[in-house]
Amino acid sequence: MSIQEIQDYCQSLPNTEKAMPCGENLLVFHMEGNIYLYVWLKAPIPSITVKLLPERGKELRERYNAISPAYHICEKHWNDIFIEGTFPNDMIEEWIKESYDLAKNSDRFEQNVEFVTEFAASPAGSQVLQGCQYLKIYDEEDPVYVLLCGDSSEEYMIGKIAVSNIQNLITAYKERFDRNNFFQNLILDNLLLVDIYNRAKKLHIEIQKPRVVLLLEIPAGKENYAMEFLKSMFSAQSGDYVTAVDENTLIVIKQVEAKDSYAEVAEVAETTVAMMNTEAMINVRVAYGTIVEELKDVSKSYKEAKMALDVGKIFYAEKTVTAYSTLGIGRLIYQLPINLCEMFIEEIFGGKVPEELDEETLTTINTFLENNLNVSETSRQLYVHRNTLLYRLEKLEKYTGLDIRIFDDALTLKIALMVVRYMRYLESMDY
């Protein structure tokens, strides 16, 4: 939303006036002397400041990275919103209107706060004060909100309907929170089988549905925005669920059509990476486990996805999507204890570490292996003469004692290089 569009919208609100009390940098909008909007005209990033109820402001700040407390005014009520390409116009207009309504009702609001405080402390469920009907909204047996409406019979009935709907929303929100808690405990194997079935039934989660877990590694500080973006991609209505493991890892529990839907899962993973990179501007890695038939086995798919994410970073760093089923020998090496790895390297190479090989030699090895030990194809891809390639291979044989033109020696060297890479990874993780 542009600055001009914001001005046009504010001018459409009744009794709105604008002023520039602090020079050309700051434009303010007010009605009847009460300011409801600050527009920072010369800020590096176009932004506005709106007044919201504290709970509303806190909710939005937790949800969106582009909204922050307005420390320069009053962080309790005022919020800075970066508007350039971050939110649709209707959302920004909604927040401006909320700020406008607060300004319009500011005097009455202060008076109502006193009445609400007194009413909340009373045992009554409803009460008429100063021409307003006050109604309590309960969460189970505890009053959590107070609704204000007119004192006519018609307004009272509308208020009662609103109270009922809000209480239903509270229940639905708690159910959503319970779902989050349920899935987090499910993937971590913190639930007994009987608890899984009982809680799933209570939360209206189907037991017998094929599912797969996708794990996303995201940069630090991007978790909130990434979470909201993922929720827009994977809806609960489709049987999908998005939750977080930690500040760097998000989980998608994806419901699929059948046990053999791996092509669909691979496409979903690739699409997720592409959309996160291009639309959300967040670089991510995605890994996924195998498809499981029952809800109780979701933790298995999660563990597989976690292994795939770690193994992918160690052995297949160039890939942004890694499937557990494609890990190959990397999966085996990942599960080896460090002492066994050290013994293997020592037995094969003695004091010589394959990682010390120069870049040219490593490129030669990898290309030779990728071409199934084919000398002609390898020399063609490396743009070197066949004799030059043979010289390099013979030089490598003298250094390592392995002739990688022989399959067994080639396999040994390939595994050794992967083991060394795994050992270096463990060292970097302070194992």
Structure confidence at residue 302 as a pLDDT band (50, 70, 90): very high
Residues 294 and 242 both lie in one domain:
yes
**Judgement on whether residues 74 and 136 belong to the same structural domain of the protein:** no
What is the tens place of the pLDDT at every residue in 180-215? Answer: 788 888 888 888 888 888 888 887 888 889 999 999
CATH of the domain at 13: 3.90.1150.30
Mean pLDDT value of segment 214-235: 87
* Count of structural domains within the chain: 4
Burial class (CB in 10 A: 0-12, 13-18, 19+), 52: buried
C-alpha–C-alpha distance, residues 375 and 386, integer Å:
7
Tell which of 173, 194, 216 closes a domain.
173
Question: Residue 411 above 80 pLDDT?
Answer: yes
Q: Is the per-residue pLDDT at 17 higher than 80?
A: yes
Tell me: do 321 and 378 sit in the same domain. Answer: no
Query: Residue 15: pLDDT above 60?
Result: yes
Check whether 86 has a pLDDT greater than 70.
yes
pLDDT for 136 equals 87
Of residues 257 and 349, the one with the higher pLDDT is 257
Q: Both 213 and 321 in a single domain?
A: yes
Q: For the chain, what is the largest distance between any 2 Cα atoms, rounded to a whole number of angstroms? A: 99
Spacing of C-alpha 336 from chain mean position: 31
Nearest to 344 by CA among 415, 269, 295, 277: 415
Q: Which of 59-63, 73-77, 94-98, 131-135 has the lowest mean pLDDT?
A: 73-77
Residue 110 has pLDDT above 60, yes or no: no
**88 vs 127, which has greater pLDDT?**
88
**149/256: higher pLDDT:** 256
**Average pLDDT of the residues in 111-136:** 75
Do 359 and 380 belong together in one domain? Answer: yes
Q: Is 239 exposed, middle or buried (0-12, 13-18, 19+ CB in 10 A)?
A: middle
Whether residue 133 is found in the same domain as residue 81: no
On whether both 26 and 62 belong to a single domain, the answer is yes
Q: Is the pLDDT of residue 431 over 60?
A: no
pLDDT at position 130, please?
66
> Is residue 192 included in any domain, yes or no?
no
Residues 213 and 322 in one domain: yes
| Range with top average pLDDT, 82-96, 235-249, 321-335 | 321-335
Q: What average pLDDT does the segment 304-316 reach?
A: 91
pLDDT of residue 342 exceeding 90: no
pLDDT band at 125 (very low <50, low <70, confident <90, very high): confident
Mean pLDDT over all residues of the chain?
Answer: 85
Residue burial 377-394, b: 16+ Cβ < 10 Å; e: rest: ebbeebebeeeebeebbe
Q: Are residues 89 and 151 in the same domain?
A: no
pLDDT above 90: percentage of residues in the chain: 21
Average pLDDT over every residue of 397-405 = 86
Range of the domain at 375: 336-428
Percent of the chain scoring above 70 in pLDDT: 93
- Give the per-residue pLDDT at 112: 61
Is there a domain that residue 193 lies in?
no
Determine the Cα–Cα distance for residues 252 and 305; give it in Å rounded to an integer: 11
In a domain, residue 113? The reply is: yes
CATH number of residue 236's parent domain: 3.30.70.270
